[in-house]
A = this chain, B = another copy of it.
């Protein structure tokens, strides 16, 4: 590298990630829109509901005919018909009259309220006794009560939940414009890495990263392209990354964490052309030897070879990276996905870097304890046994037993734009 590159802080790297552009958009049908991210505001094309609807079962009436009605002094109304569901009412409600109506039925002409069935007592075929007065529009939904025509109902940058999709269906919007799902090419490098279907010889290990990183992408709504393994050779790696850049929106290479391999990845990035180095090392542990750049306009990520380190980098940086590419925008910090717990013991930490502790959460009565799971660098079991990560800020020398900490849960990531709090 010509320029001198300083290891960057968590905040600096997250800021760089915010600099990537969301992907372009595509149109999908409502059936396929679950959890997708809107790429433009949706304006309501009409009022919802489009007509006055009953919100209760009962009788459509003129409210003032019921004024003063009580159990001891009921109002008597003449029943002049029934509203059939799904039809425009065939009768109208005159003074002293009532029309039977079900929830969702269209209010007949003349009526301005609905008396709940519980307060109506049938005297004979044509007459009811109403024991409670209703005010105008009581038990009635007016046109536009839910949404008014022309109003922005859903904003770009938000992901679609079941209720959002329901609202779109209610408005007759059967196709929506959403940001494309990020396609991620995943490459594992290392002369020691072999396919998981073969029995490794002494010195060899199975290709764990391909599967973990693919599952990580899937969990976040991205589409992984497993490009396979690659030896630590310049030409082979250049060809593989080149293929990845052709089919995907971003290429992730996880390599042996040795210095030589990292240099090789950088050299290949440079050789591919139009390379811009953005991050060369992050002041975190684990995960320091991470590279972020752009090759031919597409983000490329060099991850540590140990999956335990690569997954911490993924949780802290690649979740917001995928959120960014997916077009997610939050008007405020997202909620959930983090819980407050008490450290179960003292933990020392080297200052100058953020330490991400893997912790197990344990309830003890009313209290929630975070128990750090230690283990040598490179083990995956602490991640498997853990519920989440605790950040020890680089300005701190550790955490004390009993100290309140925020645990970032592993399980929760779908719509998560971190601000390194």
User: How far apart are the CA atoms of A102 and B163 in the complex, in Å?
Assistant: 53
| Contact pattern, A 379-416, Cβ under 8 Å of B = 1, otherwise 0 | 11101100110000000000000000001011110110
With contact pairs A206-B172, A376-B141 given, residues A192 and B104 touching in the complex (Cβ less than 8 Å): yes
- Which A residues fall within an 8 A CB radius of B? 30-31, 33-35, 49-51, 53, 55-57, 83-89, 102-106, 117, 141, 145-147, 153-154, 160-172, 174, 190-194, 196-197, 199-216, 218-219, 226, 232, 256-261, 305-308, 311, 314, 332-339, 361-363, 368, 375-381, 383-384, 387-388, 407, 409-412, 414-415
Number of copies: 2
Interfacial chain B residues near A206, Cβ < 8 Å: 169-172
Which 7 A-B pairs have CB atoms at the shortest separation, nearest pair first?
Answer: A166-B212, A86-B192, A102-B258, A163-B383, A106-B203, A169-B211, A34-B215
Interfacial chain B residues near A163, Cβ < 8 Å: 212, 307-308, 311, 380, 383-384, 410
B167 and A381 contact, CB distance less than 8 A: yes
Interfacial chain B residues near A333, Cβ < 8 Å: 363
Partner of A336, one of B154, B169, B194, B412: B412
B336 and A409 contact, CB distance less than 8 A: yes
User: How far apart are the CA atoms of A218 and B204 in the complex, in Å?
Assistant: 40
In the complex, residue of chain B having the shortest beta-carbon distance to the beta carbon of A169 = B211
Interfacial chain B residues near A311, Cβ < 8 Å: 162-163, 166
A190 and B85 contact, CB distance less than 8 A: yes
Interfacial chain B residues near A361, Cβ < 8 Å: 332, 335
A256 and B85 contact, CB distance less than 8 A: yes
Within the complex, the shortest CB–CB distance from A224 to chain B, in Å, comes to 9
B380 and A170 contact, CB distance less than 8 A: yes
User: How far apart are the CA atoms of A117 and B257 in the complex, in Å?
Assistant: 13
Partner of A203, one of B51, B165, B171, B363: B51
A104 and B339 contact, CB distance less than 8 A: no
User: How far apart are the CA atoms of A31 and B311 in the complex, in Å?
Assistant: 17
In the complex, residue of chain B having the shortest beta-carbon distance to the beta carbon of A289 = B103
Interfacial chain B residues near A232, Cβ < 8 Å: 85
A86 and B204 contact, CB distance less than 8 A: yes
